[in-house]
Structures are given as C-alpha cells and as structure tokens.
Amino acid sequence: MLTKEINSTLIPTLKKYFGYDSFRDQQLAIIESVLSKKDNLVIMPTGGGKSVCFQLPALLFEGITLVISPLIALMKDQVDGLTANGIPADFFNSSQLSSAQNGIFDKVINKEIKLLYVAPESLALLENILNEKHISCIAIDEAHCISTWGHDFRPSYQQLGFLKKLLPNTPIIALTATADKATRQDIVDQLNIPNATQFLSSFDRKNIELEVRPANDRVSQIIKFINKKPKEAGIIYCLSRKSTEQLASKLNQNGIKAAAYHAGLSFGERTKTQEDFLFDKTQVICATIAFGMGIDKSNVRWVIHFNMPKNIEGYYQEIGRCGRDGIKANAILFHSYADVIQLRKFAEGASNEEVQLAKLERMQQFSEATTCRRKILLSYFGELLSDNCGNCDVCKNPPQFFDGTTIAQKALSVIARLKESEATGIVIDVLRGANNATIIDKGYDKLKSHGVGKDISWRDWQQYIIQLINQGICEIAFHKHNALQLTIFSQKVLFENKQVHLTYPVTIAEKAVIQKELRETKVKKDSLFERLRKLRHQISLEENIPAYLVFSDAALKEMERARPMSEAEFLKISGVGQRKLEVYGNEFIAEMVSFINEKVQKKDDTYKVTYELYKEGLSIEEISEKRDLKSATIFSHLAKLYADGKDINIYDFVTKEEVEQVLKAKEALESPEALKPYFDYFKEEMDYSKIRLALTILNS
C-alpha cells in the first residue's frame, strides 16, 4: 500500500516534470499500482497517455526503469522529450559504440538516469546491470508486439518472459492500445505476469472529428483539405506501397511537402523520413500501416485514410495518432467499394479468413453508418455512449431520408435486365443511358430500361447503389466479378411496392467552407499563436529537437488565451513544468509582451494615418473608404485626435447647438459615461458619432 506521503507528491511531481495539473482517466490508479510494485497491464487508446504511467513512477523509484520499446529509430525522440522535461534518461542500442555503451552502464550504476530505453534485441548486452540492485521497474511498451494475434508481431518480443524470472520482485508494466482479449491473454501469459492488474481505459478520443467521404476525386479533395491547413502536419494511410509513392509525388507537384513511407524503403530512408516529419520539415507522410507505431508527435493535426482499413482496431490506432495534445484534430476516411473488394480478396484464403471478413464487415458498417459514428466505434471496444457525440459527420450533418422507392425500382430493373451479371459501373452506365463502346458492343443500349435514370448524376447513382446494398436490397457477388445481384428484398421492392428510404448523397459544400477558412487564415497570420509557433520553431532548430517537444500546440493555444506575463502565471499553463519554465519562460513571456506592445503601437499608428488623410482634406466618407473602416470608426479617431490636442475642425461635424443639447443630457442622465443613454435620451435622433464628438468637446 502507498503511504499518504507518496500519494500527495504525485500531482506536484506531475506538474513539476510534465507540466500537467491533473491526471487523465486511469493514470493515477495505474501509477499507484506500479509504485506498490504490482505487475500491470495497461490498455489505453493511442494518444491516451500511457507514457506518464511509467515515466512518473520512474522518478520516484530508487533505481532505473527499463523501458522496452520496439523501435530504435524513435527512442532518441522519447529520450529528448524526457530531457526537455528535466528527466534524465538515455537509450541503449546495438549500433552504439562500446565506449558509449560503457558510458550508459556508468550512468546506471551511478544513478544518473531515471529511465533507460532499450530494444528487446539488445537486452542480452545489458547483462551486468540486469539485476534488482539497479532496476526498479520494467515497462514494456507496445506490448501487443509479443502476440501473434496482434497486428505488429515481433519475434524478438517473445523472449521477454525471462525478465520476470530473472527479476521476480521487479514490477512489470506492459502497455498497449490493442484491446482484444486474445492479445491481452497472450501478453500476460508470455510475460509471466498472471496476477497483473488490468487497466482498461476509455477509448473515447473526443477531440478527433470523425468523417467519412465518398472516394470520388480523392486526390483533389485531399489537396484542397491540406491547402486549407498549410502549416498542419498530417498522415495519409494508403493500402499499397505504390500508392504511397504516387500520392506523395502528386502532393509535391502541388506544392505540398510530402514523403512516402513503407516497409520497402531502406532503414536509412525510413529513419530520415520519420525524422523530417518529427521536425516539421515534411508536412505530410503518405504511408502504409508500417508507419506510426511509437510516433509520439503531439501536433499531428489530421489523419486521412486514402483507402479503407482492414478493421476497426487498425483504423482506431491510426487515427489515434492525431490530436495527442487533446486539441481539435481531424480523421477523414475515404470510402470506396473498390477498396472493399480488394480487402476481401486479401482476406480470402487466409488461415483466419472468417475472422478477417467479419472484421472487414464491421469496418464497412462504420463507413456506411447513418447514425453517430463514434457510438459505432466505441461499441466495438465494448463501450456504450449514451449520447450522440456531436463531433462526427453524421451528427453534424444528419442524413435526410426521402422516399427512394422509384430510384430503387429503376436500379433493380436494370440489374434484372442485365441478368445480374454486371458490376456497378455498367449498371450505372445503363441507368444513365450511356452509349460507350462496351454498352453498344454488348447491345445494352437496346434494353428497355437504358436511360431510365438519366436525371441522376453518376456520382449520386453510385451512392444510391451503395445504400441499396447496405439495406440488402441488392448485393455484390464478389465471386462473380462483383456483379450486382437481386435479393429477396429486391422482389418486394419491384413487385410488392415495398417502400425504400434513401438519404441524399453527401455534397461537400467546399466553396463556402473555403471562403470561411480563407478569412480565418488571414486573421490567423499575425496572431499571437503564429508568433509563438515561430519562436518554438526557432528554439527547435537551435536545440535540434522537434518543435512539439518544446511545447505542444495545446500549450501554445493556452498561452495565446491566457497571455501569462509573469513566471508564476506562465507556470500555470498546462504543459509547462519546472524545467520548461526555467529554460523557455523568459523568451516566451518576452514574445507575448512584445506582441502586445506592437498591438498598442499599431493602434497609435492607425490614428496617425487617419490624421494625415484628414489633413490632406479628405472627407469622412473618403477616409473611411480608403481605409476600409466604418465611418463611425473614423469619427472616433477624430474625437481621440481632437482630445489629444490635434488640429481638428470639430465643429464641421457637430454643431454648437448639438453640443449644448448633449450638455443638457449629460446633466440629466444618471449614467452619463456611456453613449447609449444619450442615444435613448434623444430618442435615437442624434447619432452616436455626434454624441461622441460633443462629449469630447465637453470633456476637453
């Protein structure tokens, strides 16, 4: 059991080293369990905050915490993050020189570090420190790699069972985002920790907006999306290596810094690509699922699935890589039937074909949902949401149903006339009365129903047919070249007039959105956030660490909002711990002060400009037009300039009689400071500008 003393140090330690004021979800319970030397299995979604669960206890243990992590390439990043927080840590790997390795042993023996990261392959080399004198805790990150059930199986993870035997009293904490039972059991069995306490956290990542779009013109949709967020990093997942390369090159042609990442690249190339992404040198990574494990870049703002993922676990893990900092992030999935067909082919013939197909089906149901998508996702992980999330495309834009019986009948009759032998493309061509070579060759232009659906666009037909398939009104025969076929429901629709409800196809009101966002980016350009981001970038170059390790986007956003002007206030920002206050505090506070001073300066300048135009003899209307400001604003400038003693013929704008009237009002009114009471007093017959000018005269 924990003593009260330790317990009461946890929050201050969290703040001091990590800069956070409170624990998330189960973090506290997990940390207490680790500190009481129990074994633990932690299941938390990607981005949920697993690292703190072993990094914080590491600070309180006597010896070091050994962290087993699968990816050598990313250990440096994790160690840099800890160092930036003032936590001494290092990593050990086989590529280091033996002198460097000896240096690390010394650090362990002299208790100079709190955490040591190591890949399972290198454990054997740690022989002389692998004992309970030096090691207080063992964390096994990405623990699902141990299981052949998991999707990232790594043989080297399977030898880890020896750790418990060698260090029986050292607590083990295994962490993963993979929730399925088989994998969990496997982890516990193989690590020899049968009594591990299991912590299963909520899988809800509320800040990620979920969206599914039809896959038409994917590339141009993606380019438009990225152009609206020119500084935001994102990941695009593709099904094949080739498509990652093609997409990256198209993005580059369009001026977007993108790189491809897949297992076919050399280790060096992959490391470089990863690093450029972490350092914001590459904005977009087009990757296969090989990319992402262990990437803790907190300012990935979006994830796009160019193709449909194989299952919901994969999808959720991948989208979890955006918005780790807890602020708004976007996940967009492009849905196409071609992908479904492709994925089915992959699954067929696999040893666990049935399972794979069932998982694919759940994924498809999610993509085609007409109810809250988050509810569907979370229910997959056994969590039930009572309310709709309000942060998915279905919640934001609930589908509108209409009577689609005639549309359905038209489609079904074409399918019937084509003898259930053609795939969606040809069915739509016939519906739309196309006269292309295939249609004429096959004589489909002679069919009675050729052209019955002319009035509906190709794209809309495609979506209606998907809806019909989802409702079981027709189906795809995957084994017969994906031909559309009739079902028992088809008969009811065709011959018994069974009603069919369809929803209007999604139209993305891109134009309106772009206009709005363009305006927003214009405003954002000289925002405090941008200034802080620049400063962060500069520091990241100087220190050679990724920008998000200096401060997360969330921390910068909070600084923008709170504008801390003293060290004490700066420390209150979530994400600012003791070391970051000491190292970066002054610079950031100075930046905020100068930003605010410039704003004041700009205000002074604006009066100057108005004064100069006024002296040139321009009328109020002309000044207002020239400066693109309201005339009321120009009047207020003149009032200020007059009050400051500038040479303004103020009686050109307000008569002596009006000033007298205002004076009377001033004596009569109860609260003569505000303008509104005057306006009411004059029954709205004297405008605000005149009132203001008269008051200026009276007050000066």
Footprint of ligand ADP (CB under 6 A) = 20, 23-24, 27, 44, 46-52, 296, 298, 324-325, 552
Tokens standing for 607?
């009066």
Which of 47, 67, 85 has the alpha carbon at shortest distance from 174? 67
| Residue 678 Cβ vs ligand ADP, minimum distance, rounded to whole Å | 50
| Residue 35 Cβ vs ligand ADP, minimum distance, rounded to whole Å | 16
Partner from ligand ADP, Mg ion, none contacting 624, C-beta within 5 to 8 A by type:
none
Instruction: Tell me the CA end-to-end span of the chain in Å, nearest whole number.
Output: 73
| Residue 325 Cβ vs ligand ADP, minimum distance, rounded to whole Å | 5
Q: DSSP states of 576-636 as a string?
A: --HHHHHHHHHHHHHHHHHHHHHHHHHHHHHHHHHHHHHHTT--HHHHHHHHT--HHHHHH
| Residue 175 Cβ vs Mg ion, minimum distance, rounded to whole Å | 7
Q: DSSP states of 425-461 as a string?
A: HHHHHHHTT---HHHHHTTGGGSTTTTTTTTS-HHHH
Partner from ligand ADP, Mg ion, none contacting 424, C-beta within 5 to 8 A by type:
none
Partner from Mg ion, ligand ADP, none contacting 20, C-beta within 5 to 8 A by type:
ligand ADP
Nearer to Mg ion, 48 or 564 (CB): 48
C-alpha dist (Å) from residue 459 to 96, 126, 398, 422: 56, 61, 20, 18
Three-state DSSP state, 19 = coil
Partner from Mg ion, ligand ADP, none contacting 52, C-beta within 5 to 8 A by type:
ligand ADP
CA distance 522 to 526: 8
Residue whose tokens read 């992908």: 339
Nearer to ligand ADP, 404 or 575 (CB): 575
Handedness of CA 624, 628, 629, 631 (dihedral sign): positive
Instruction: Find the Cα–Cα–Cα–Cα dihedral 15, 17, 20, 26, rounded to 10°.
Output: -100
| Residue 685 Cβ vs ligand ADP, minimum distance, rounded to whole Å | 57
| DSSP classification of residue 15 | I
Nearer to ligand ADP, 63 or 326 (CB): 326
Q: Are strands 483-486 and 474-477 parallel, antiparallel or unpaired?
A: antiparallel
Nearer to ligand ADP, 293 or 691 (CB): 293
Please identify the residue of the shown chain whose CB is closest to the bound Mg ion. Answer: 50
Extract the runs of DSSP E, i.e. beta strands, from 281-399: 284-287, 300-305, 329-335
Nearer to Mg ion, 130 or 295 (CB): 295
Nearer to ligand ADP, 298 or 307 (CB): 298
| Residue 81 Cβ vs Mg ion, minimum distance, rounded to whole Å | 11
Nearer to Mg ion, 50 or 580 (CB): 50
| Residue 197 Cβ vs ligand ADP, minimum distance, rounded to whole Å | 18
| Residue 14 Cβ vs Mg ion, minimum distance, rounded to whole Å | 17
Nearer to ligand ADP, 140 or 662 (CB): 140
Partner from Mg ion, ligand ADP, none contacting 585, C-beta within 5 to 8 A by type:
none
Cβ-proximal residues to 292 (8 Å cutoff; 6+ apart), any chain: 235, 317, 318, 321
CA distance 299 to 321: 9
Nearer to ligand ADP, 10 or 638 (CB): 10
Partner from ligand ADP, Mg ion, none contacting 573, C-beta within 5 to 8 A by type:
none
Strand partners, 176: 43
| Residue 293 Cβ vs ligand ADP, minimum distance, rounded to whole Å | 10
How many residues belong to the site for Mg ion (CB under 5 A)? Answer: 1
Contacts to Mg ion from residues 10-69, by CB under 5 A: 50
Partner from ligand ADP, Mg ion, none contacting 228, C-beta within 5 to 8 A by type:
none
Write out the residues near Mg ion by the rule CB under 5 A: 50
